[in-house]
């Protein structure tokens, strides 16, 4: 192991974070790396424990514990401790396709299952891996050469989000010719248009896409399979088709007044802002002042975000950067505890209250946490012009029936009305798009996920596979990458039988 007493000698040190006062002025990433010497100390804290829960990637109490990619965490940390970044990259790349993405957006499942974190603070594994991949890009270690041998087999991957990119990358390495179809104007899927730029700079996505193109992967954008590209065309032209279209059907709030002007789905909102940033060549000041959004300008507007989670938090941070005068975030679930409950022991995912960057910025700007817990919207109030004027809310009481089923009941006397100019719905997703699954005729379960047929990633149709959120439902980027890699292995097996 690296340093046997490292976890006793060094305290956890996180990356430097630009204060809210400065970072809300633009859409730039706001974390700056530690020095190489300090990063080596952080890697030295890894205990190289006998049972590394950090890389287990197992489901405990319905939540993932440890990395689903099964990254060789202690081995990588040891190499970082010794300053051998090249070998650390080679070790990390055995299991991981895109550490530069998870190093920015992953909730660090590895760290929450870290043995060191049982009695102290966990190892900074996520940031260690981010430094490794950035070193690899800086020093030309990332392979951008096509495979030396081609199999003659052709595979179409539909969707260029994390699962689609990972699947395409693996299949290409195996020697198959891969074409990725993306319905948007640029590749990246959720990575590009579902995550704001200050969290994942889109130039990082572009950098990876360029590498993949150099290795021989073809990207076809503005190609909406099921609409502008037929399923028959793909089935006739390719030996296999892998559907990685995500769980992109948003959950709506069907309350009176839903047709009011000023209500948007969160991902549409985030995508429109990101597209403006890219189109303006990362002129952040121009975006903040811009009046040409479909929703007009957020400057001096009252924004209500419906839904918690990462997407809701991203809407809070984005709204603040666009000049909102207030941001309120409504969450259906009760406020989580500050610390683990006895019913939520390590190494389970900690179900505790987390104040993310968007909420931190709201506290700085408005003086209070933007979240209202155990609450739902009962009506959207319109003005005489049909535009949104307010939302009516009511508190919820969570109850568990004898059958174990959880329900939420309105609490009488808790009704309120909040002024609102814009509402952003971040209430999750309901599975894959019907028009895609319909044209291929694949099997879909009650949650809208593609399942069935032989193998873990089968679809119920010959030569068609599915992976990522389209297969398992709304989840994390790191799980989508793992899904894409595993699906590629299954596809390869059927091609080379």
DSSP string, 455-490: STTB-SSTTEEE-THHHH-S--HHHHHHHHHHHHHH
Residue whose C-alpha is closest to residue 88's, from 143, 139, 136, 39: 136
Cα–Cα distance measured from residue 173 to residue 155, given in angstroms and rounded to the nearest whole number: 12
Residues in contact with 13: Cβ distance below 8 Å, sequence separation at least 6, in sequence order:
34, 38, 41, 42, 124
Return the pLDDT at 453. 78
Return the pLDDT at 403. 86
Return the pLDDT at 447. 87
Strand, helix or coil for residue 305? strand
Distances (CA, A) of 243 to 157, 250, 334, 430, 438: 6, 18, 36, 17, 12
Return the pLDDT at 1. 62
Return the pLDDT at 290. 78
Residues of the chain with pLDDT under 70: 1
Return the pLDDT at 23. 97
Return the pLDDT at 454. 80
208-252 pLDDT, tens digit each: 999 999 999 999 999 999 999 999 999 999 999 999 999 989 999
Cα–Cα distance measured from residue 490 to residue 456, given in angstroms and rounded to the nearest whole number: 8
Return the pLDDT at 46. 96
Domains of the chain by range and CATH?
6-138 (1.10.1060.10), 154-249+430-495 (3.50.50.60), 263-425 (3.50.50.60)
**Helix (H) / strand (E) containing 358:** helix 357-366
């Amino acid at each position: 192991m690296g340093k046997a007493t490292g976890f006793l000698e060094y305290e956890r040190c996180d990356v430097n974070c630009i204060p809210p006062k400065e970072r809300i002025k633009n859409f730039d990433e706001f974390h700056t790396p530690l020095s190489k010497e300090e990063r080596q100390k952080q890697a030295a804290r890894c205990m190289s424990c006998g049972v590394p829960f950090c890389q287990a990637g197992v489901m405990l109490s319905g939540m993932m514990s440890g990395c689903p990619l099964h990254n060789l965490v202690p081995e990588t940390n040891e190499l970082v401790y010794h300053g051998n970044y090249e070998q650390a990259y080679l070790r990390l790349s055995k299991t991981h396709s895109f550490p530069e993405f998870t190093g920015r957006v992953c909730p660090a499942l590895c760290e929450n299952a870290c043995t060191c974190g049982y009695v102290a603070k966990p190892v900074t594994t996520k940031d260690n891996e981010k430094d490794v991949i950035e070193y690899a890009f800086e020093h030309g270690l990332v392979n951008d050469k096509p495979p030396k041998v081609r199999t003659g087999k052709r595979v179409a991957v539909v969707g260029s989000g994390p699962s689609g990119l990972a699947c395409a990358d693996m299949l290409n390495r195996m020697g198959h010719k891969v074409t990725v179809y993306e319905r948007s104007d640029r590749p990246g899927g959720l990575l590009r248009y579902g995550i704001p730029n200050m969290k994942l700079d889109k130039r990082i996505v572009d950098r990876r896409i360029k590498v993949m193109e150099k290795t021989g992967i073809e990207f076809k954008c503005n190609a909406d399979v099921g609409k502008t590209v037929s399923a028959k065309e793909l089935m006739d032209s390719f030996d296999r088709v892998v559907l990685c279209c995500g769980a992109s059907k948003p959950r709506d709030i069907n309350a009176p007044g839903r047709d009011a002007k000023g209500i948007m789905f969160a991902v549409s909102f985030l995508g429109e802002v990101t597209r403006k940033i890219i189109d303006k060549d990362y002129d952040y000041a121009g975006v903040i002042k811009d009046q040409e959004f479909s929703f007009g300008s957020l400057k001096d507007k009252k924004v209500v975000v419906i839904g918690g989670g990462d997407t809701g938090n991203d809407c809070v941070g984005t709204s603040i950067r666009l000049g909102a005068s207030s941001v309120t975030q409504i969450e259906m679930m009760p406020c989580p505890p500050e610390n683990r409950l006895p019913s939520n022991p390590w190494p389970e995912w900690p179900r505790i209250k987390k104040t993310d960057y968007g909420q931190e910025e709201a506290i700085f700007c408005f003086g209070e946490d933007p979240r209202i817990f155990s609450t739902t919207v009962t009506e959207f109030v319109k003005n005489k012009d049909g535009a949104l004027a307010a939302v009516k809310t009511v508190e919820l009481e969570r109850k568990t029936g004898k059958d174990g089923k959880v329900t939420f009941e309105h609490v009488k006397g808790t009704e309120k009305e909040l002024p609102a100019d814009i509402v952003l719905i971040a209430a999750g997703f309901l599975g894959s798009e019907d028009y895609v699954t319909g044209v291929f005729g694949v099997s879909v379960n009650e949650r809208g996920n593609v399942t069935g047929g032989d193998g873990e990633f089968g679809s119920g149709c010959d030569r068609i596979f599915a992976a990522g959120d389209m297969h398992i439902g709304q989840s994390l980027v790191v799980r989508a990458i793992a899904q894409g890699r595993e699906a590629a292995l299954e596809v390869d097996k059927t091609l080379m039988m």
